[in-house]
Amino acid sequence: MEASHGHGQPPPAPSSSETLMAAFLNVPAARLHPLVRALAADARRLRCRLAFLLLSPPHFARALARLRSMPLPAKAALLGRVLLRSLLLLLPALCPAGGDDDYRRHHLLLPQPDLDAALLLLAMCDSYSPPAAAPSPVDWRAVIVDFVVASTLSVSGLGATPWAALAPYVDAAAKCRRFADVVPSSTARGAVKDGAGSGAASHAVVLALPAAAGDGAPCAICRDAMAPGRRGVCALRPCGHRFHWRCALRWLARRNTCPCCRAELPAQDAAAETRRLWRAVERTARGGG
C-alpha cells in the first residue's frame, strides 16, 4: 500500500512562484521599494519597445525575419536569455552582496537586435492560440496587437499598486526556472565527465580573472608548484583560490566551479546560468542570504 502524504512523507516542494515570494519576504523594505521602481521602469521600457515594433512595419518585419532565420535551438536559447533577464533584475535586491553593477554587465543580457527578436518571440508565445478552423498563415502583427491591447486594458494592466509591477516579473522568473528544467544546457549532453560543473564558465568572467602572486604552493589542478611572483597565476572569484593560468583556462572551459571549494562562477550557457541564479533565490527563500 502507498503511504499517505500525512504519514512520514516529506512536504511537497514549493512551486517556483512560492519560492520567489518567500525570497521577497526576506528583502528589507529599504531595498524592496527601489526594486519595484526599477522593475516598473524596465517593464515600461520593454512595453515601449514592443509598441515601437508593432507601430513600425519595417522594424517588425526585420525582427520577424531575424526570428524566422534562426533554427529551433537558437530560438530556445533566445527565449531562455530573455527570461533570464527577470532573474538578473530581481537578484540584486535578493542577494545584495553581488552588487547591482555585476548584473547590469551580465554577459547573457541581450543586445538590441536580439532583444527585439526575443520580445517578439515572447509575445508570440503569450498571444497565440491555435485556431479551430483549418490552419492558415498567421498575421502575427494583428495577433500580438490584440493581445497587447487586451493585456493593457485588463485589471492588472491598469493597476497602480506595487504588485502590478512585481507580478509580471515573478511570473517571468518562474517561467525562467521551468524553462531551464525543460531545456538542457548546451554543455550538459556528455561534455563534462569528471567534475560537478554545469558547463563552461562565462568567457567574460574568465577573461576578467585577476592575476595573483604565486607562493610555491601546488596548483590544485596539475599539482605543480606555483612559482613566486605574479606570472602565470590567477585567482578565481569569489573564493580567491589560485591556479596556473593554463590550468584554470582548461578547467573553466568545461566547468564553472572552483576545483577546490566548488564555488560557482557565472556560466556561459543560459540554462546552466539560470540554474545557478535560481539556487541563489532558493538560498534567500530559506533565509540563507
pLDDT at residue 83 in the model: 80
Between CA 167 and CA 163 the distance in angstroms is 5
Which grid cell sits at 15? 512551486
More confident residue, 40 or 218: 218
pLDDT in tens, 125-166: 888 877 666 567 888 999 999 988 887 776 555 555 656 667
* CB-based contact 49:59 (threshold 8 Å): no
Q: Residue 242: which pLDDT band, with cuts at 50, 70 and 90?
A: very high
pLDDT at residue 185 in the model: 55
Between CA 238 and CA 222 the distance in angstroms is 21
Burial of 259 (0-12, 13-18, 19+ CB in 10 A): buried
For CATH 3.30.40.10, list the domain ranges present in the chain: 203-268
pLDDT in tens, 164-213: 667 777 888 888 877 777 776 554 444 444 444 458 898 888 988 988 88
Instruction: Of 156, 31, 16, give the one whose Cα is nearest residue 86.
Output: 16
Do you find a cis peptide bond into 10, omega within 30 degrees of 0?
Answer: no
Count the residues in the chain: 289
Average pLDDT over residues 229-251: 88
Average pLDDT over residues 63-82: 88
The fold for domain 203-268 equals Herpes Virus-1 (3.30.40)
